[in-house]
Structure 1
């Protein structure tokens, strides 16, 4: 038995890859590439830099920035130093930012320079002692000959994490954390309430990486491109870290810019690509799509929100050489819980698949009793991938973890073979006239109209119906625009009368968070003002 406490940690994965393939390129961002040896050394320097500030194992360190090699190094450095990484959505400002930094008890913030003033505006009264550059502005990058960066508005000149990681002696850091210690506070998206900090120990994340490797067939020669935000658990924990664990060469982009995506897939012969449906949809409709050679692409993964079946069918028909994987789960489970593999899409295109390697599922009713196949119920999980609970939130932890199972809040149906199909979030089910209607079923019916680009269906409080089924619709540019009555008639031809929207509202876009998840609470607020 190994007596190395790092063996089952996030840090242990990188160390082993660096020993196996020291001279292979691990990560490329902008004009910089890091071999596995260089990345391993950079992580040690960055970890030493953070500990040199007086931070101690268990302290929380927030990362507040866009995708970059510095962001990836920051997570790995925290893991090596025993610090708890707190990823923060770079779009958060004001009270939302203050809440996350305060609720987590963050002591240090690693920020993109352009975002640092937002931290300064909210830090009064918080535990934040250090605000450091995550990376420098282009003029101040290492090797440019420019002065060291200072954070605008902070008055703190200082060495950025990327600069500290890039040169100097490699420190000896001791044994590092054990696999039972926290690696990250992974805040939920907060689509229905304030975000909760899921406490993720190293061992939970490593189990999640093994599940991802097995279910998604991730290989060292895949040539993956990652462009979805690393503050989100899918990009970081389902793709970046598992790919580094197997020694792949990862191309990292700052954001999912579609023209740049198309250029890099063709130019870099990308073989594996994960995108949220909110990016797959416009990519599939982009006017320059046919001008690019995407024949190198072999694996395409989607998740973080529901992919309309009509869009998936178009993508599969257009790219027959590509295997599509549906990834489903949530932050608390690392976040992958089920996968629908390419060979399973033909028979079950709407399914989210079966549980991954280290996840056990049940589908239960409100009393916790398992329901038979074909009956809607809440999916609950038992897994070593699960978080330990919610940070400083014992009541919410007790509500989510009952009798040894984590309650997801997702309403699903399981078939006889164990495949799950998402019906809805339990909180999004509509009670219309005393009958329950799944918003997703109505959305699929609306989406089948050729003029519809996006749709979201909610229940709006109504004196007659309890909740009136209401559809918010974004139309395709250039398509003949249907009227609300025509869309209602279209749905009526496909669904039972009580499921048909009582009202259709046309909008230019749907509100989403930076992870691509639809914010139905904002639609409910909007609808409350127009009844």
Structure 2
């Protein structure tokens, strides 16, 4: 009973938002519009389905998919069951996918129908291709796929749960929630282990330093397989009980109409996508006045683009988020009032982060000198999965 009293995992964030805002719209996608009550029902029912397919706490499921309401539902269903999610970059080739499946020791795979053939090829490269037989599921069924079973549709899941036999020992904060593979500059990707506590601490930093609010309507166009869209926007905004608008591609002809039609208040993208919006002939055809918060990352926003954005989106304030997957991934924030004043900066350390520059002896460097960026934070991963040497290298300055 004590563990239940103190439990705080990713699923609990949905559960509490559904208790606060049961009739508020939680998820909007091309095929779905769910309240928080119905979204929690869908999450519960998907967790039940996975449990009855033989998945249990500590198992690992890889997911290869574009953004969808179904993908968002899976993220929290896995968290409820204690299954560790392994998001796959859908742009990877079969040999790279095969390496991740093998290294992560996955127990099952969930994929868009679009990517099942590539997964099938990746499976043939495994030492034992039959190890996942009967453990392959299509996230959004379109037609029968040989060797793959269809998951229940989201519409069928979004009804009061009929079964309530999930194990009571759900994941604790210190249990692993996900393994996200990141290659950096090395040939083999490393599996970043992130616990529920890592992520929830990071969500708190994001909410406070990113200006997030429960009444925001947030557009998700960048892929969920990446830690930025999933863990800087989907997770924190679910924590607050905001409304998610989900689309599968970050194209101007999709993004601009959605902002206008759904009265979106927040949008995140790298500078290249913001520039594509400005250069689109559709930009001035839509009412974008609802957009009050713009976030970007992965690169510095050029001064000329910042000035153009402030002129053409006069109601929008901008934040620059910087970090890496290993810190879940927010580390520093450049806030709106510093966008031009500190042009080129990645900002200051986020709420739950301490950031310093160290020399080769792990000593702080004097102001104005070059050093290695190092962080101390409860966001930070416990290590790389099945890679103690790389883990030691990453933490040797701690």
Q: TM-score, normalised by structure 2?
A: 0.93
Aligned residues: 391
Residues 16 and 317 of structure 1: CA distance in aligned 2, closer, same or farther (over 3 Å): same
Q: Is 1:103–2:97 an aligned residue pair?
A: no
Deviation of the 1:3 alpha carbon: 4.6
Q: Which moved more, 1:341-350 or 1:81-90?
A: 341-350
Q: Which residue matches 2:292?
A: 298
Q: Which residue matches 2:229?
A: 235
Alignment match of 1:217 (pick from 207, 211, 226): 211
Residues 162 and 262 of structure 1: CA distance in aligned 2, closer, same or farther (over 3 Å): same
Query: For the residues of structure 2 that align with 1:294 and 1:110, how far apart are their CA atoms?
Result: 36
Deviation of the 1:320 alpha carbon: 2.6
Q: Which residue matches 2:132?
A: 128
Check whether the contact 1:65–1:90 (CA below 8 A) recurs between aligned residues: yes
Check whether the contact 1:133–1:150 (CA below 8 A) recurs between aligned residues: no
Residues 189 and 321 of structure 1: CA distance in aligned 2, closer, same or farther (over 3 Å): farther
Please list every run of 5 or more consecutive structure 1 residues that lacks an aligned counterpart in the other structure. 138-148, 405-531
Check whether the contact 1:5–1:179 (CA below 8 A) recurs between aligned residues: no
Q: Which residue matches 2:278?
A: 284
Check whether the contact 1:133–1:160 (CA below 8 A) recurs between aligned residues: no
Q: Which residue matches 1:354?
A: 348
Deviation of the 1:187 alpha carbon: 1.3
Deviation of the 1:401 alpha carbon: 0.6
Q: Which residue matches 1:169?
A: 162
Q: Deviations over 1:220-277 (max 9, x none)?
A: 1121111110111111111111111111111111111111211111122111111112
Residues 156 and 286 of structure 1: CA distance in aligned 2, closer, same or farther (over 3 Å): closer
Q: Is 1:308–2:302 an aligned residue pair?
A: yes
Q: Is 1:155–2:160 an aligned residue pair?
A: no
Query: For the residues of structure 1 that align with 2:5 and 2:270, how far apart are their CA atoms?
Result: 36
Deviation of the 1:367 alpha carbon: 2.0
Q: Which moved more, 1:165-174 or 1:252-261?
A: 165-174
Deviation of the 1:7 alpha carbon: 3.4
Check whether the contact 1:49–1:164 (CA below 8 A) recurs between aligned residues: no
Q: Which residue matches 2:368?
A: 374
Q: Deviations over 1:180-207 (max 9, x none)?
A: 0000001114454321111001000000
Deviation of the 1:357 alpha carbon: 0.9
Q: Which residue matches 1:115?
A: 115
Query: For the residues of structure 1 that align with 2:150 and 2:242, how far apart are their CA atoms?
Result: 33
Residues 189 and 314 of structure 1: CA distance in aligned 2, closer, same or farther (over 3 Å): farther
Query: For the residues of structure 1 that align with 2:33 and 2:163, how far apart are their CA atoms?
Result: 19
Q: Specify the SS of the correspondent of 1:123.
A: helix
Please list every run of 5 or more consecutive structure 2 residues that lacks an aligned counterpart in the other structure. none
Deviation of the 1:128 alpha carbon: 2.9
Q: Is 1:25–2:31 an aligned residue pair?
A: no
Query: For the residues of structure 2 that align with 1:285 and 1:128, how far apart are their CA atoms?
Result: 46
Residues 155 and 268 of structure 1: CA distance in aligned 2, closer, same or farther (over 3 Å): same
Structure with more of its chain in helix, by fraction:
2
Q: Which residue matches 1:85?
A: 85
Residues 35 and 253 of structure 1: CA distance in aligned 2, closer, same or farther (over 3 Å): same
Superposition pairs of residues 160-199 of structure 1, within 5 angstroms: 160=152, 162=154, 165-167=157-159, 169-173=162-166, 174-199=168-193
Deviation of the 1:5 alpha carbon: 5.8
Query: For the residues of structure 2 that align with 1:189 and 1:303, how far apart are their CA atoms?
Result: 18
Residues 280 and 52 of structure 1: CA distance in aligned 2, closer, same or farther (over 3 Å): same
Q: Specify the SS of the correspondent of 1:76.
A: helix
Check whether the contact 1:82–1:176 (CA below 8 A) recurs between aligned residues: yes
Check whether the contact 1:44–1:170 (CA below 8 A) recurs between aligned residues: no
Q: Deviations over 1:469-528 (max 9, x none)?
A: xxxxxxxxxxxxxxxxxxxxxxxxxxxxxxxxxxxxxxxxxxxxxxxxxxxxxxxxxxxx
Check whether the contact 2:39–2:158 (CA below 8 A) recurs between aligned residues: no
Query: For the residues of structure 2 that align with 1:6 and 1:28, how far apart are their CA atoms?
Result: 32
CA RMSD of aligned residues (A): 1.9
Residues 5 and 61 of structure 1: CA distance in aligned 2, closer, same or farther (over 3 Å): farther
- Per chain length, whose mean CA-contact separation is higher, i.e. which structure has more relative contact order (CA < 8 Å, sep 6+)? 2
Q: Specify the SS of the correspondent of 2:27.
A: strand
